[in-house]
Structure 1
Amino acid sequence: MTKRRNILLNLVRLDFYKNIFSYKWIPIISSLFIVSICAIHDVLYKSFSIKKSFNKIDVLFNTFTEQHFVIYFYTPIIIYLMILAITSSFNSSSLIKMGSTTRWIISKIIIIYIISIIFVMLQFIVAFISSLQIPYNGTWSAFAKAFALLPQNIIVTYQNPVIALICSLILLILGFGALGVIILISFVYFGRRKLMLLPVILVWALTIFGLNPVIDIPNYLNYLSYGTNVSLPNSMYYSSNGFIISLLVFIFFNLILILISNFRLRNCDLNSGDKK
């Protein structure tokens, strides 16, 4: 048991150093600063137009939950980072050394969520630094109470905006992690072929358009959409229990995907691990 655990930890450690300590994060961090500046400008413009004061929480919420940022900026970066992390060390020799395909999957899932946590925390740090000059008084601003950016359910349910912000970060981490698991299972089924991107593109499309343009569904079924669950304002728009529902949806969804990917990889020949 100890030997198996050490093998798993060593693979996670190698993947961690390979994917985290890399120059590719430098342009990503630089881009996050640009997004933060855009978020500040957006809040400034909207608050000025309705003549309401805003604070740091408004800027942070706009940075993490603005759909244009999440869909067109954060998601492509996460897809890129996840593909690099998942496709590394997948070959017959590494799988035979692991002795278990289950351990390989576990190691990749750990790396997926480590990358998700680091990416979201980088977002937070960059956004916080960018908004240092903006005050925060511990309460919702007049701008937030005017529901200019956030649905009423958030303001009513979370009297402390910090708790709402933490919930928002958790959903982002789970959302990016779930997207990583989708990429993992796509890679397991299709290998390095371009077909592995089809499920990812489908999820991305659902993030952009939701389910309503595809089928006419009632509001409570909007929780089947990735785009609803990854953003706290979207989930709270449909229910005051939106965070709890989204949390359960992501946990259930991840468990199903992990079981499917593990079943598929168990039925693969280790000697055919080098996928073309």
Structure 2
Amino acid sequence: MADADAGGSPDVLENKRSATRYQVLVEIAARQPAVSQGEIADTIGVTSQAVSDYVRDLVEAGYVDKGGRGRYEVTKEGVDWLISRTDDLETYLERVNSDVLGSVEVDAAIALDDVSEGSEVGLVMRDGVLHANPAGGTATAVTVTSAAAGEAVGVADFEGVVDYDTGTVSVLPVPTVTDEAPPDPEVVSAHAPDDGLLAVAGTEAYALVSRSGATPDVRFGSAEGVAEAGMLGLDVLLVAVTDAIPRHTSKLRDRNVPHRVLDSEEF
């Protein structure tokens, strides 16, 4: 039997006959005891005669018991054979996902300088966006495309960890229109980060930010957008109606993004 752990293909993938034999036994197990060979043929795309030949082979191998009038049941030996082959398939697929597909995964980054295909570059995070730095970085990758400075470049074969700090989210509560009066609009500019983002959630929050003369960076999908920005290293001021705050802070907790709700003494 081929060793899937060692990188070889499982027995059921070595040739078409092995694969079809496995499929037929799976279909018998799914349909037993009343088994229609015609239905199996239609399902796996072979002739009824071929299914008949495979069923006879499985009976002779002791993997299937044959009863009368198209009744078949998978034996204990047949179940054990299915389990072993299925385990081999799962191990093989795990290797394909981690080693093969993982090694060809391509991401995009902004080139900080002109780069040619096949170059090793460093990976750095700036303004929440991944950048490819020919001068190096704490993490490295290999370019799979060429790009001029400022263009997107494809990178793969990642090694190391991109070094950046998670951002902090400050939440400015705004009362609903039927509650108390909103805070002074100047509080927005007082707490907005210099190099971060300004987000709003709710009409009252949008009105306050508009009166301050600022333009929000995030108006829609703010719970997801603010959490994502914080994860990518950006500081955010979230101006939110009070009843919208719990769903935002819940998302921030789920993503382990540092955050604080400003109290009235800070207004």
**TM-score grouping bracket, smaller chain normalisation:** under 0.3
For normalisation by structure 1, the TM-score amounts to 0.21
Structure richer in strand, relative to its length:
2
Q: Normalising to structure 2: TM-score of the pair? A: 0.21
Over alpha carbons, which structure has the higher Rg? Answer: 2
- Structure having the higher helix fraction is 1
